[in-house]
């Protein structure tokens, strides 16, 4: 008999996934479904993605973590995965774009995160199905407003109001060591990446399978990938204000190697800021010595302001807001000064 195996949030726990699937006795003809959040936090996101991409008879739903990657909203967990995947990252994004937001079998409805209890499946919002922040806010507002008789309505869960005859299997919200079974709904995110359990439901029969994860993968990943993630950033094209924020946000919990890296960046920013003072002096002098040819230079806006006596360091900091912009003007100024010298000779 063909079965369906629905797996909760895997979050890169590849070896635990293989152990779980072996425990279920997964066969080639069985349908394997992931509720989404294949990647991030665990130590083998690439391997999990490859497994689900390459295995026939497999469906992966859109989770909020896949959506973060697609929308370019990269927090630390997503930055790690981007570095881990390297040149394959565009392929991962292209694959993620194809993911459905729900799947229905004869036995159950499967979603990543949640549903509105009073809407048919085809009218459900994608941000709610996938568990984004906007979707969660919508549910919180809806149920807290409509069910004020509850003692603490803000914490009301959508499953408290589900009355459908068809069971719903979902993940996203960690339920503890065991699945959360309420009102014909099955929550099967049991915190695998945090050292909890990886859970699957076998259909038909709603048979629960679990394996224990022996370590907190996310805690280990946080420490291991700090420096590689920092080194992968496009610092030259990052806003200088964002660089200062990045340094301040990471410094308090950084390893010695990361501390050294951040110190180098901080020193580099100080040198760049000092160079702005030097460039202002060069621009002021240039505006005097080339007063009849200001329009010929690519940095003529600064020259005109200098000639009128209104160019300030604040103007330069505002316009040259990335390291790349500062170094670009440095090179332009140097080249123009050399050309000016050669013309005078």
Distance CA 345, CA 322 (A): 35
Dihedral (Cα; 303, 308, 313, 319), 10-degree rounding: -50
**pTM listed for this prediction:** 0.86
Cβ(172)–Cβ(131) below 8 Å? yes
Residue 220 token pair: 């280990």
In sequence order, what are the beta bridge partners of 185?
Answer: 168, 182
d(CA 210, CA 11): 15
Q: Which two tokens stand for residue 333?
A: 């100024």
pLDDT score at 228 = 96
Q: What is the pLDDT of residues 58-96, one digit of tens each?
A: 999 999 999 999 999 999 999 999 999 999 999 999 999
For residues 69 and 260, give the distance between their C-alpha atoms in angstroms, rounded to a whole number. 29
Alpha carbon distance 148, 123 (integer Å): 25
According to the model, what pLDDT value does residue 342 have? 43
Phi, psi (deg, nearest 5) at residue 6: -105, 120
For the chain, how big is the Rg over CA atoms in Å?
Answer: 28
Question: Minimal CA–CA distance to 66: which of 154, 57, 85, 321?
Answer: 85
Per-residue DSSP letter, 106: S
Please, are residues 80 and 225 in contact by the beta-carbon 8 Å criterion? yes
The pLDDT assigned to 340 comes to 56
Task: Identify the pLDDT of residue 338.
Answer: 61
CA dihedral 109, 115, 119, 125 (to 10 degrees): -110
Torsion of CA 98, 99, 105, 110, to 10 degrees: -160
pLDDT at 153: 47
In order of their start, the domains of the chain are: 4-220 (3.60.21.10), 233-344 (no CATH)
User: CA–CA distance from 36 to each of 39, 48, 170 (Å)?
Assistant: 8, 11, 9
Q: Over the range 208-223, which residues count as b (16 or more CB within 10 Å of their CB) and which as e?
A: ebbbebeeebbeebee
Q: Which residues contact 100 (CB under 8 A, 6 or more apart)?
A: 59, 61, 62
Mean pLDDT per segment of 10 residues, for the chain of length 345 residues? 96 99 98 98 98 98 98 96 97 99 98 96 97 93 66 69 96 97 98 98 98 96 94 96 91 82 96 96 94 92 96 97 97 78 45
The burial class, CB within 10 Å (0-12 / 13-18 / 19+), for 267 is exposed
**Could you tell me which of 236, 258, 256, 234 has the C-alpha nearest to residue 247?**
258
Q: Residue 1: its pLDDT value, please?
A: 78
How many other CB atoms are found less than 10 A from the CB of residue 290?
18
């Amino acid at each position: 008999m063909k079965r369906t195996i629905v797996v909760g949030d895997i979050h890169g726990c590849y070896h635990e996934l293989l152990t779980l699937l072996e425990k279920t006795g997964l066969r080639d003809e069985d349908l394997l479904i992931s509720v989404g959040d294949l990647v991030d936090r665990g130590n083998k996101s690439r391997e999990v993605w490859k497994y689900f991409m390459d295995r026939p008879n497999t469906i992966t739903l859109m989770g909020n973590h896949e959506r973060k990657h697609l929308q370019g909203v990269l927090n630390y967990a997503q930055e790690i995965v981007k570095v881990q995947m390297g040149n394959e990252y565009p392929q991962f994004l292209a694959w993620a774009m194809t993911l459905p937001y729900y799947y229905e079998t004869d036995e159950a409805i499967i979603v990543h995160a949640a549903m509105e209890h009073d809407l048919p499946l085809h009218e459900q919002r994608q941000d709610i199905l996938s568990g984004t922040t906007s979707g969660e806010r919508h549910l919180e507002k809806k149920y807290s407003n409509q069910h004020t008789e509850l003692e603490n309505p803000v914490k009301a869960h959508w499953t408290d109001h589900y009355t459908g005859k068809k069971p719903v299997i979902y993940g996203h919200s960690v339920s503890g060591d065991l699945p959360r079974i309420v009102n014909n709904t099955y929550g099967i995110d049991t915190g695998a990446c945090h050292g909890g359990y990886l859970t699957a439901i076998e259909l038909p029969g709603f048979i629960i399978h679990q394996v224990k994860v022996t370590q907190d993968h996310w805690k280990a990943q946080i420490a291991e990938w700090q420096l590689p993630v920092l080194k992968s950033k496009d610092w030259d094209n990052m806003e200088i204000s964002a660089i200062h924020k990045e340094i301040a946000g990471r410094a308090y919990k950084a390893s010695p190697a990361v501390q050294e890296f951040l110190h180098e960046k901080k020193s580099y920013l100080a040198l760049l800021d000092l160079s702005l003072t030097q460039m202002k002096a060069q621009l002021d002098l240039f505006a005097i010595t080339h007063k009849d040819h200001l329009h010929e230079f690519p940095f003529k806006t600064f020259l005109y302001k200098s000639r009128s006596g209104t160019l300030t360091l604040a103007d330069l900091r505002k316009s040259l807001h990335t390291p790349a912009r500062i170094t670009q003007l440095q090179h332009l100024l140097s080249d123009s000064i050399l050309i000016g010298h050669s013309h005078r000779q």
